Structure 1
C-alpha cells in the first residue's frame, strides 16, 4: 500500500480507493496473491459493497485479450502466407506442428521458474513462435527439395533433419544465450522483463526438439500417405504399344 485510503466517487457511487504498488515482483504474481484475499473480503463485506481491482490490473487483463487475439491471428496469417509460398495446404500444416512444442515450452519454462503469466510472457511466447516457424520452414523446404530429387518421404525427412541440425541448433542457442541475462531479472526493474526471457528460453528449447524430431516424422508420415494414395488411384486406359502397332494404318494416295 503506497498511500492512505482516499474517499471519492466513481460513477456517482461512493468509493474508497486503496492504492498499492509492485516491488521486486511481477504484476501477474501480485495479482494472483491478491485475488484470494479480495474474494475472502468480499464474503465478509456489508451488503451492497463491492471490492474491485482496477488500475494496472485491468490494463493487463485487456492486454491479455488483445495479445491472445493477436497470437491466433498471427498463426492464421502465417499459415496462409506459407500456403501461398509452398503452393500446398499440407506442408504449411506440417510447419505449424512445431508451434505446439513452442507453446508447451513456454508453459514449461514459466512453471519451472514459478513465473506467472503476464504481458511480457505473452510477448515472449509470440517471439518463440516466430523463431520456431522460421526453423520449421528451413527443415520442410530442404525435405521438399530431397523429395523432388526422387527420394522417399522417409529419406527426405531424415536428410532434412540431419542436414539442418546445425543451423537450427545455432539459431536457438544464440537466442537462448541472448535472453539468459533478461531471464535472471537482474538490475532495477529486471523482474518486470524476466518473464519475457523465461518464456522465450522455454519455448525455444522444446520448439527445437519439435523442429528436429517431430516435424520430420510428421512430414514422412503425411507424404508417405500421399504417395500411397496416388499409387492406388486407377490409371487411365492408354493404348499399349502392341495394340497401337496392331491397328492398320491406311492412307489414300
Structure 2
C-alpha cells in the first residue's frame, strides 16, 4: 500500500518491507505541519486581540468568519497558476495564507465599526447593512488593491512568489465575498440585538 508517508510491500517470502519517504519530501511535510500549527496559533491570537478591542466574544466571530473565504481564492488560484507557469502551492504560499488570517479581517473590521456607529442613528438593520456596504466599499477596494499591488512587487522572486500570489488570490476573492457573507453572518448573530436596541431607542424618543 502506498501513501504520502511511504509504502509497504510484501515479498515472495511473505516478509513485509517498509519504505519511507525522506529527504526533501520529509522536510516538506514537517514544514507544512509546523506552519499549520503556526496558522492555528495566529487565528487564536487574532481572535483574542479582537475580543480585547470590541469587548465582545461574538463580534470577533463575525469578523473571523470571513477568513476561510480567502482559501476560496488561494486554492483554485494556485491550481491555475500551476498549470500555467508550474508554480504550485508551497511552503511560502502557506506563509501567505497565515498572513491572510490577519489581513483578510481588515475589511470586516471596517464594516463592523461603521455598523456599530450606525446603530445609534435609529436605522433598521437592513438599512444599516446597505449603508455600510455602499459607504465602505471604496475604502475596502482601495485597501485591497494597494495590498495586492504591494504583494506583486515580489512575485518575480522565485522564493517569495508563492507568498505574493497567495495574498493576491486570497485577498482579492475574500474582499469581494466579504461584502456578501459579512452582512449575512452579522444578521444571523446580531439581528436580535439590533432589533432590541432599535426598539429601545424608539421608546426613548417617545
TM-score of the pair, normalised by structure 2 = 0.78
2:46–2:102 CA contact under 8 A, matched in 1: no
Query: Which residue of the other structure, out of 152, 166, 171, is the alignment partner of 1:199?
Result: 166
- Structure 1 Cα separation of the partners of residues 116 and 194 of structure 2: 14
Structure 2: stretches of 5+ with no match in the other structure: 200-206
Number of matched pairs: 190
Give 1:58's aligned residue.
26
- Structure 2 Cα separation of the partners of residues 134 and 198 of structure 1: 19
Give 1:113's aligned residue.
81
DSSP 3-state at the match of 1:182: coil
- Structure 2 Cα separation of the partners of residues 134 and 45 of structure 1: 58
DSSP 3-state at the match of 2:108: helix
Give 1:98's aligned residue.
66
- Structure 1 Cα separation of the partners of residues 142 and 11 of structure 2: 57
DSSP 3-state at the match of 1:99: coil
Give 1:167's aligned residue.
139
- Structure 2 Cα separation of the partners of residues 88 and 70 of structure 1: 25
- Structure 1 Cα separation of the partners of residues 99 and 185 of structure 2: 24
| RMSD of aligned alpha carbons | 2.8
Give 2:109's aligned residue.
137
Closer, same or farther: CA 118–224 of 1 in aligned 2, 3 Å: same
Task: Tell me the CA shift for residue 95 of structure 1.
Answer: 0.5
Task: Establish whether residue 211 from structure 1 lines up as the match of residue 178 from structure 2.
Answer: yes
TM-score of the pair, normalised by structure 1 = 0.65
Task: Tell me the CA shift for residue 131 of structure 1.
Answer: 1.3
- Structure 1 Cα separation of the partners of residues 65 and 120 of structure 2: 22
DSSP 3-state at the match of 2:40: helix
Larger-gyration structure (1/2): 1
